[in-house]
Amino acid sequence: MTFAKGIFPELIELSLWDTSELDDNDHLRPLSYPDSHVILICFSVDSPDSLESVEDKWILEGRQFCPGLPILLIGIKKDLREDQYTIESLREYFHKPVSTQQVRNIQHTSFDLSPIVMFFITPSMWHVLEMSISWPLFIPPQGMAVARKIGAFKYLECSAKTGEGLREVFMAATWAGLVGKHTNFFKE
């Protein structure tokens, strides 16, 4: 994915690595982490267990293998939060889509890691940039508490199905990578 020159002062190329497919081979996953500049930890809004595994596994692994990198928490499948079929399917198992309250009161009770996705963004081109970065004041209430708890740079939600929020996710990841690469903002 590349962004037009008018948005950023240079051409930015993003390479995405979906490391969730490597769950059965935990020892292989860290091989994809070198040269990363941003970590996107994603949970599915239709899977409460995936939100719990953000803290149980993914944030710990990200900090261990990529210390100091900016982390973005992303709620994916946003369109399913109001989907009646999804709500009915989850109700059969006494679940419902991840709500604001669940995000705020996350518990360490689940180790089901399969629904989580973790992306490491590796920009192939970084140059020292002189720019001021201003973030919008609005942060969606869904996920804000968990994002603060894990020290995420930003919380966003998106839907690959509808396209809602995708551009914002990639823009935020690019900005976080630029800030993290050229400052000590994220260093512990």
Residue written as tokens 């989850």?
90
Residue 19: what pLDDT?
74
Please state whether 60 falls in left (phi above 0), alpha (psi between -120 and 50) or beta: alpha
Phi, psi of 53 (to 5 degrees): -75, -10
Number of domains comprising the chain: 1
11 lies in some domain: no
Residue written as tokens 């996350």?
106
Residue 114: what pLDDT?
30
CATH number of the domain encompassing residue 31:
3.40.50.300
d(CA 86, CA 62): 30
Domain residues for 137?
16-182
pTM for the predicted model, two decimal places: 0.69
10 lies in some domain: no
pLDDT along the chain (188 residues), means of 10: 55 73 71 84 83 86 89 89 78 60 44 36 33 32 73 89 92 82 52
6 lies in some domain: no
Buried b (16+ CB within 10 A) or exposed e, 91-129: eeeeeebbeeebbeebeeeeeebebbbbbbbbbeeeeee
